[in-house]
């Protein structure tokens, strides 16, 4: 792809800093730990490190309750440690992307302490305050994403404040120009320190219905579902005027050269792609989570790939994600063997892939005992399986005590299999998942068609998905078997001839001459002769 930006041709890797590498033996990862593992990331082949929140916080929601947007929480280090990380990353040609949490602050943020001090405080309107309903209850029926009403009464002032998440996470009022100006300055602060971009948390939440009308009931809600499913969030999220707010954020990003704006958005495809903005003045990459919620059969995958690929606006750039800190790990969702096929799919689709730490070694959800639970969502709505601790457990580096993550007691339990499933072991295993990830990532560089070529479905029958990636220079065929049975006589285009570039089993180099068979849970990439 001519003149591709780094965020178009590169691969992003999410680090959950509490769980990546601890260097001071307190059982919690830190910035120096990330810096110590940069060479691993370079050898893996990734291009950008996205770091979940590291700002000062009471940690009610593990950093997503920010008390100071321009500092570093002491558990992770300090600004000097951050500067060292930036310098070390840039020396290795790695980019650093920060999590930006603009929808809400901590209730301990100085802005909110002022806001709740009195109705007359100059910062009162920096947050969303409303009078009680006629019966004295919450102003409307909006629910918190973490359970219960999204409104908390402040007895001193007699008004409710809105929080889309925890009570300790009051939402900012983005209709207030002073709020927007302050948050724009936060972006500038970090970009001046060398940050290469931001992943914006819950970007579709930033604007709310101006009249605070009730959300409509969700006809699909069933007893036992989380509270947030009681109503359709059509008034509390995804408002039309959010796009002007995002265009302003993008304008600040564009004040600096070569930066990227990524938006976290859990919406259907037709609404997701609106976040590219009018004339592409919105997010560079509205996160596409379709694979996280997909049914892993060929017809469903083919349909969602085609729908998304066709919906990305002209000039917009697609992206794909298999997992993150809020979702069960891919190996647990679809099985360890099928996760290898998922890796090949992720790294052969048009656009920018984002990986989640540990997925490259097949880390799975770790069962968390009730007494060990840390996640506030699990504590607020226990027993519904909503806790996110299982996918946030420490990175498994080696077979030493605590998996090489720490010399202290880890903040979350380790997987029972860490002595056999870890980086050190897989580096010595030619057929390992880590080896496969490294091979697939390396393959993208000499074959830019894999990130920039057009997509064309060939076959999507039952458990077999076959598609082409095409450009003027080359054509590559990708064939994936999602089942645990052999697939013979896979339909291929007439006169398909080529050379196997990669297999999920890492043991095939033969030529394909009009016929292809796949072993259970096997995927292959074939460079076709016409353009190979």
Query: How many Å separate Cα 450 from the centre of its chain?
Result: 21
Q: Render 139-188 in DSSP notation, one character per residue.
A: SS--B-TTSSBSEEEETTTTEEEE-SS-TTSPBB-TTSHHHHHHHHHHHH
| DSSP 8-state assignment for residue 26 | S
Task: Name the nearest CA neighbour of 239 among 142, 311, 377, 307.
Answer: 142
Query: How many Å separate Cα 232 from the centre of its chain?
Result: 23
Phi-psi region of 16 (alpha: psi -120 to 50; beta: other; left: phi over 0): beta
201 in catalytic set: yes
372 in catalytic set: no
d(CA 227, CA 218): 11
Contact in structure between 340 and 521 (CB atoms under 8 Å): yes
**Annotated catalytic residue, options 32, 99, 171, 264:** 264
Q: Structure tokens of 219?
A: 């006809």
> Who contacts 383 (Cβ-Cβ below 8 Å, separation ≥6)?
none
Sheet holding 129-130, edge to edge: 129-130, 159-162, 151-154
**Annotated catalytic residue, options 201, 238, 359, 360:** 201
Task: Name the nearest CA neighbour of 245 among 169, 312, 198, 175.
Answer: 175
Alpha helices for 273-314 (secondary structure H)? 298-311
d(CA 209, CA 510): 59
Catalytic residue positions, numbered = 201, 264
């Amino acid at each position: 792809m001519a003149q591709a930006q780094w965020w178009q041709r590169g691969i992003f890797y999410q680090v959950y800093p509490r769980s990546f590498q601890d260097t001071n033996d307190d059982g919690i990862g830190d910035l120096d730990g990330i810096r110590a593992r940069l060479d691993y990331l370079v050898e893996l082949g990734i291009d950008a490190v996205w770091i979940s929140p590291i700002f000062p916080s009471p940690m009610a929601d593990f950093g997503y309750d920010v008390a100071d947007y321009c500092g570093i929480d002491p558990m992770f280090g300090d600004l000097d440690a951050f500067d060292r990380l930036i310098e070390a990353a840039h020396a290795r040609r790695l980019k650093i992307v920060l999590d930006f949490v603009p929808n809400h602050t901590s209730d301990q943020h100085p802005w909110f302490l002022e806001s709740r001090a009195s109705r007359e405080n100059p910062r009162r309107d920096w947050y969303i305050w409303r009078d009680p309903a006629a019966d004295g209850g919450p102003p409307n029926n909006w629910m918190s994403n973490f359970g219960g009403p999204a409104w908390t009464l402040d007895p001193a002032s007699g008004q409710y404040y809105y929080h889309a998440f925890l009570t300790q996470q009051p939402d900012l009022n983005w209709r207030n120009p002073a709020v927007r100006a302050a948050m724009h300055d936060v972006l500038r602060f970090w970009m001046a320190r060398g940050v290469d971009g931001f992943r914006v948390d819950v970007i579709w939440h930033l604007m709310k219905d101006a009249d605070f009308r009730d959300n409509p009931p969700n006809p699909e809600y069933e007893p036992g579902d989380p509270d947030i499913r009681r109503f359709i969030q059509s008034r509390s999220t995804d408002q039309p005027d959010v796009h002007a707010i995002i265009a302003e954020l993008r304008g600040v990003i564009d004040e600096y050269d070569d930066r990227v704006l990524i938006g976290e958005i859990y919406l259907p495809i037709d609404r997701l792609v609106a976040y590219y903005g009018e004339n592409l003045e919105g997010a560079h990459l509205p996160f596409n989570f379709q694979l996280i919620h997909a049914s892993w059969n060929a017809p469903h995958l083919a349909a969602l790939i085609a729908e998304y690929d066709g919906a990305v606006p002209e000039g917009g750039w697609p992206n794909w994600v298999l997992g993150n800190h809020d979702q069960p790990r891919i190996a647990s969702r679809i099985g360890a063997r099928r996760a290898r096929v998922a890796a090949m799919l992720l790294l052969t689709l048009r656009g920018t892939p984002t990986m989640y730490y540990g997925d490259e070694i097949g880390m799975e959800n770790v069962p968390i005992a009730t007494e060990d639970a840390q996640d506030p969502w699990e504590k607020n709505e226990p027993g519904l399986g909503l806790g996110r601790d299982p996918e946030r457990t420490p990175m498994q580096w080696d077979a030493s005590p605590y998996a090489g993550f720490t010399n202290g007691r880890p903040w979350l339990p380790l997987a029972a299999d860490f002595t056999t499933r870890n980086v050190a072991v897989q580096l010595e295993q030619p057929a390992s998942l880590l080896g496969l990830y490294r091979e697939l990532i390396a393959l993208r560089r000499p074959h830019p068609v894999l990130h920039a070529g057009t997509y064309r479905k060939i076959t999507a029958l039952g458990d077999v998905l076959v598609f082409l990636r095409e450009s003027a220079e080359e054509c590559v065929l990708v064939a994936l078997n999602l089942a645990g049975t052999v697939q013979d006589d896979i339909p291929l285009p007439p006169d398909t001839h080529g050379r196997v570039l990669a297999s999920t089993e890492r043991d095939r180099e033969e030529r394909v001459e009009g016929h292809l068979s796949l072993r259970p849970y096997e995927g292959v990439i074939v460079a076709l002769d016409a353009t190979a």
